[in-house]
Chains A and B, each alone.
Chain A
Amino acid sequence: MATLAGHRGRRSKNPLAVEDAIAGWVFILPAVTIFVMFIFGPILYAFYTSFFDRSTLGNRNEYVGTANYREILFDNPDFWQAFRNTTWFTIGVVPTQTAIGLILAVLANRKIRGKTFFRTAFYFPSISSSVVISVIFLWMYQRNGLIDFAVTKLGFPRPEPVWMNNPNGVVGSFLGLFGWDNVPAWLEGPSVALLSIMMLNIWTTAGTMMVIFLAGLQDVPGDVYEAASLDGASRWRQFRDITVPLIRPVTLFVTTVGMIGTFQVFDQIFVMTSDGGPNRTTTTMAYLIYQETFKYGSGLGYGSAMAMLLFALILGLFLLQRRLVGQNAL
């Protein structure tokens, strides 16, 4: 058998290798063409364009060196405000949705009835259109809407002004309770309006994270837990010392995907806010790129430079996170 296979392999290997060298490229050609035209090409083109002053209609096109970058970084306070908003958004959303996803997964990862139902229910928001979810939440956040109704029935005060029009920083307001007024701008925290969108985001994504964690938990061998419980390890210790370390690669994956998502939040801002307001507190970096390029007429070069900065930021964070959590996991 072995000789037969070896013989056949030797005889057919060379023609196959020659055929595959060509056929392989034929098979990937359509996909590669699309990728080159609409992803790799555009990245290089965006990088190139970022050194030009180029109007949206293309009738003005002039090399300006690094002027766009300098203007964004040193002369555009909106950029730093958007950076702050996006950072708060990420800090608030990613750990929360990861923790909720993990807890839900651990709870559902046992022999319980209706596991499929729970998975289906928790994943449903992830497959829905972001615009649909945004208009529904916008409606829920109206004065006397469903959120107001729930908040007042639970005995809490409603925010004034109403959720999506409220520019007050939540961290700043909290510190104000302890008598710390005049909080610096960078510590004001996300506005109530941005927090409202963050809650929407957590609601949408926590289920996705749960489903991914649940798949990861299947790979943790059950006898590890049995051995641990025979040794008298408590549920909490089992979770902390077995579950968490063993699913570390999944956690890295989930937080990476989460961060890439929060750094490009756009649809919700577009649909739910009036142009990134109130007071620009919901202007994310992705939204600012759109605004500058397609609404304010700052030009395609300026917008491209901003997009390059966003890209560099995401790439940097990704590499940093890999280093912190441990490489080879992704």
Chain B
Amino acid sequence: MALASERLAQPRTAASAEERTGALDGGIKILAYAVLVFVAFLMFVPFLYSIGTSLKTTAEANTLRFSNLFWPENPTSRAYDVIRDTDIGLWFLNSTLVAVVWVVARAIFGAMAGYAFARMTFPGKNIVFLMILSTLMIPSMVTIIPKFMILRELGLLNGYGALTVPFLTDAFGIFLMKQFFESIPKELEEAARVDGASRYRMFLQIILPNAMPAVTALAIFSFQGSWNAFLEPLIFVSNADRYTLPLGLATLKNSYYTDFPVVMAGAVITTLPIALFYLFFQRFFIEGSTSSGIKG
């Protein structure tokens, strides 16, 4: 990495040390590549294996050879034909409906709260923000029992309300929006202020249109959170016609335990939408996670 000119400027002993690291560098680089490629391969193996299995007959799925590890010798769509007769279409629809509510609500409420915390001064601001942030470390198992009781009191148990209402906002989203609003120039608002705009108009007409990158990131995170949510739907919903995909997949596993290609087909169908989203928006996924590190 050292420049040639730098090397010339060094005393002799230092130069030879540099050369040694230079040679070492090449070795390390190859080793680094080898490790990274190997680990990347390991990351894909389970997914490749599930796709391969979903295209196998039950008999072939149970006899592994090098030649059919990831791709069947006799590909068949049987597993997908079988799964079409289950409720998976309904679960997919439920997951989609729930995701839309999560995404829209979290984007709006997160942007509102984030803006207030970033730019306004009001009584109790700091303590409220800290309290919200501290909820990031509260395990969902700790609050699930009282949530269950509250939802029952509200008559929301077993319905779409239970799958959406408790999740209309999230601490991470508020944090993300606050960080973003702190980074945009104050001049934008000051211009509007001169025109006599209220905070509400300012937010709607100036702030929100300029916050689209952050709102997109938040929307993607919300989609991921809702698509993968499992514990809460499991506790809050007991009738199969309100199941979301993960819940459905977990029951599918029980009913098709001896016919795993069907379960793997379910896994593929569940993963496909999120995988496509990830391919298109991976920048948002990764940048969001590095500012939070919280897995949804």
B146 at the interface (CB under 8 A from A): yes
- Cβ contact within 8 Å between B139 and A286: yes
Nearest B-chain residue to A294, judged by Cβ: B235
Q: How large is the interface on B (under 10, 10 to 19, 20 to 34, 35 or more residues)?
A: 35 or more
A246 within 8 A of B: no
Q: Smallest Cβ distance from A296 to chain B, in angstroms?
A: 14
Whether A123 pairs with B53 at a CB distance below 8 angstroms is no
Residue contact B109 to A35, C-beta cutoff 8 Å: no
Q: Which residues of B contact A132 (CB under 8 A)?
A: 246, 249, 267, 270-271
Within 8 A of A (CB), among B226-283: 227-228, 230-231, 234-235, 245-247, 249-250, 253, 260, 263-264, 266-267, 270-271, 274-275, 278, 282
Is B293 a contact partner of A208 (Cβ separation < 8 A)?
A: yes
B59 at the interface (CB under 8 A from A): no
Indicate whether A40 reaches chain B with its CB closer than 8 angstroms. Answer: yes
Residue A205, interface by CB 8 Å: yes
CB distance from A46 to the nearest CB of B (A): 5
| CB of A49, distance to nearest CB on chain B (Å) | 7
- Which residue among B113, B148, B194 has the maximum number of chain A CB atoms within 10 Å of its CB? B113
* A42 touching B150, Cβ below 8 Å: yes
Does A174 count as interface, using CB distance less than 8 angstroms? Answer: no
A300 to B39, CA, bound (A): 44
Interface size for A (C-beta < 8 A) is: 106
Residue of B nearest to A253 (CB): B293
Question: How would you classify the secondary structure of chain B's contact residues: helix, strand, loop or mixed?
Answer: helix
User: Is the CB of B160 closer than 8 A to any CB of chain A?
Assistant: no
- Interface hub of B122, B200, B249 (most chain A Cβ within 10 A): B122
Interface residues of B (CB under 8 A from A): 1-2, 10, 14, 17-18, 21, 24, 28-29, 32-33, 35-36, 39-40, 42-47, 49-50, 53, 62-64, 69, 108-110, 112-113, 115-117, 120-123, 125, 128, 131-132, 135, 137-150, 152, 165-166, 168-169, 171, 174, 193-194, 198-200, 203, 224, 227-228, 230-231, 234-235, 245-247, 249-250, 253, 260, 263-264, 266-267, 270-271, 274-275, 278, 282, 285-286, 289-290, 293-295
A-B residue pairs in contact (CB < 8 Å), sample of 12:
A17-B121, A23-B122, A24-B125, A38-B165, A132-B267, A136-B49, A139-B260, A146-B64, A208-B293, A229-B2, A229-B18, A235-B21
